[in-house]
Amino acid sequence: MTDAKTLAYINLFGILGALENLCELDEEAQELLKGKKPISIGIEVKGGPSATLTFKNSRCRMEEGCRKDCDVKLPFSSCEKFNGLIDGTVTPIPSKGFIHIPFLLKQFTGLTDILTKYLRASEEDLKDEVFFEKSTKLMFYLITVAISQIANNDEIGKFSAHYVPDGIIEVAIKDSVSATLRVEDHHFVTIKQKPQSYRSQMQFGSIKLARDLFDGNVNSLACIGDGSIEMHGQINMIDNVNRILDRVALYLA
């Protein structure tokens, strides 16, 4: 079972939040924004999340909360309506910034189309080594953000989060990317960078292994057993994060 509110948090901070990383990794995404004046898009979901995306110098930055001074505001009357934006069944209508509709139709839609290609990659695309690496990194960032959103909003996720003590958990792909899960009073925050220190760490042995795990082609317990997934520090933190991780697949299916 999944719920619309948790999915809305994942869709906003996980899916649309991955535009930050897409604009760092992908030249086509950078080219779409090249020469464009800075623009900010505020998204506000009634009964759910809100955030502001700022596009500047061919890069994207997301911050929590819909800024009052955003150039474009996209309000949604419910979490279900916002989730419809992500699955393509709802067309948003700005309440502010109609003059920027061309940006929404071309640049913003273009970026989300590129992101979708990476996140829902075909077997043929994944045969390209460069594409494979970019796609897997974007999946990694999405999944680590989704862990926090499920820990904070999903009822089953919150149950597991209740047993996670305060501290820093590093989740990493060896010789590739790293993310920080910061836990304070059972509330999770994902920071998409390597921590200076950690209380617990879970590290995937290679980017190929990480991809196989994300795609459900290998068993995580078997990988822990053979050492291809390494765990260090306070293991009960990792155990409960893994329980939350099991929920991620349900929401991202």
Confidence of residue 2 (pLDDT cuts 50, 70, 90): confident
Tell me the C-alpha distance between 129 and 27, whole Å: 16
Average pLDDT, integer, range 134-154? 97
CB within 8 Å of 201: residues ≥ 6 apart: 169, 170, 171, 172, 230, 231, 232, 233
Domains of the chain: 4-119 (3.30.1050.10), 153-252 (3.30.1050.10)
Whether 38 shows a pLDDT value over 80: the answer reads: yes
pTM for the structure as a whole: 0.95
Whether 5 shows a pLDDT value over 90: the answer reads: yes
Predicted pLDDT of residue 225? 85
Predicted pLDDT of residue 215? 87
Predicted pLDDT of residue 102? 95
Q: How many CA atoms lie within 13 A of 149 on its CB side?
A: 28
CB within 8 Å of 122: residues ≥ 6 apart: none
Q: What is the pLDDT of residues 51-85, one digit of tens each?
A: 999 999 999 999 999 999 999 999 999 999 999 99
Predicted pLDDT of residue 84? 96
Predicted pLDDT of residue 153? 97
Predicted pLDDT of residue 216? 83
Predicted pLDDT of residue 218? 84
Q: What is the pLDDT of residues 216-239, one digit of tens each?
A: 888 877 888 888 999 999 988 999
Identify the bridge partners of residue 19 per DSSP, sorted by sequence position: none
Q: What is the pLDDT of residues 78-122, one digit of tens each?
A: 999 999 999 989 998 999 999 999 999 999 999 999 999 999 999
Q: What is the pLDDT of residues 171-209, one digit of tens each?
A: 999 999 999 999 999 999 999 999 999 999 999 999 999
Token pair, residue 191, equals 């920071």
